Amino acid sequence: MSTAQDRQQDTTDLARGTGVNLLGNFGKISAAIAFIFASRVFGMEAVGLYVFAWSTIDVVSKLAIFGLDISIVKYITRSRLEESPGEVYKVLGDALSISLGTSLTVAGLAFFLSPWILTEIFDIPHLIWSLCTLAFAIPPLTCTFVFLGATKALKIMRYDVFVRTIIEPLTFLAGVGLSALLWADGSGMVLAQILALAAGATASATFFGRHYAISRCIRAMSFGAFRSELARMAFPVSLYNLLSILASRLDVILLGYFLAVDRVGIYGMVREVAFVVKKNRQAIEPIFGPIVSEQVQKGQPERVADSMSTVTRWTLAISLPYVGLLYFAGEYILGLYGPAVVAGTSAVVLLAFAHL
């Protein structure tokens, strides 16, 4: 295939994957509806408890995911280019072994250490139940990332879209609605989150099984996985992901320490609206990774540069109009979450611009 044809194929793959993921972002409207409903029915204090607890678990879960969602793409891509199916299953077996060990360890530490940390360090004991309960979300969340990472290595984006933007948000919405009937204080929001992640893990395992033999993956699991090349590659990636998500979530965690919980809830909803800009960028990243990984494996830096240029243009074209919308209509959008959230109109524009 000529260089021009290669570049055309790269652009086509990027466009197809990005289009699917952007359409999937509209599926997340159900999650926005859930937050609007929760804000109106439970109040900002209940939402704040959920936002703080989930932000904390989202950070520590990166230790459990261990960078496998990214590293697995590289090694599966390399093994497929070498036409070595046996090596593919070794990579998958190592990934499953590592994820099982890390997810159970991190979940256990989060469950048992949360009471002490929240009481002795943060002095917010009323968050203990929410944080300890959400610790059970770490294993299914880790499984979802590994299974979807393996399918992304095949340049299949629709599974990620279906799980992350349809199944999980819709399940969360249903769970929040059900919790309103059972727990008037809004504590059921954390259970709705666990239910959503469990549904996502089940669906991602089903999709994974369409392309890989799960029994063969299980047979390839071993205790030596933590000494594998995949583990050595994934470890620094996991540290980078941890620092990245910590920088992203640190604002919520610090607000939980210094301000009342209802203020955390208000900020959480403002942040959710502004975060759409980052989600637009993330619509490109899932397909961009496998494409660039293949280009690097083939030693084609010119194609990598072309892909980077294309992605940068598309990101700005997608995100800038939304920032403009928030500038002119942010007050009305935030008003959907309740009168208290309207106070964050100026902040939502600044946050959205920061996510470009």
Per residue, the 3-state secondary structure of 179-219, as one string, reads HHHHCCCCCHHHHHHHHHHHHHHHHHHHHHHCCCCHHHHHH
Q: What is the pLDDT of residues 52-99, one digit of tens each?
A: 899 889 999 999 998 888 888 888 888 777 767 778 888 899 999 999
Q: What is the pLDDT of residues 206-265, one digit of tens each?
A: 999 999 988 998 988 888 878 888 888 888 888 888 888 888 888 888 888 788 888 888
Band (pLDDT 50/70/90 cuts) for residue 24 is low
Average pLDDT value for the chain: 83
Q: Measuring CA to CA, which residue among 159, 149, 153 is closest to residue 67?
A: 149
Question: What are the backbone dihedrals phi and psi of residue 262, each rounded to the nearest 5 degrees, phi first?
Answer: -65, -30
Domains of the chain by residue range: 3-354
Q: What is the pTM of this model?
A: 0.78
Q: Measuring CA to CA, which residue among 149, 194, 155, 151 is closest to residue 171?
A: 194
Q: What is the pLDDT of residues 103-141, one digit of tens each?
A: 999 999 999 999 998 888 777 788 899 999 999 999 999
Contacts of 162 (CB under 8 A, 6+ apart): 24, 203, 207
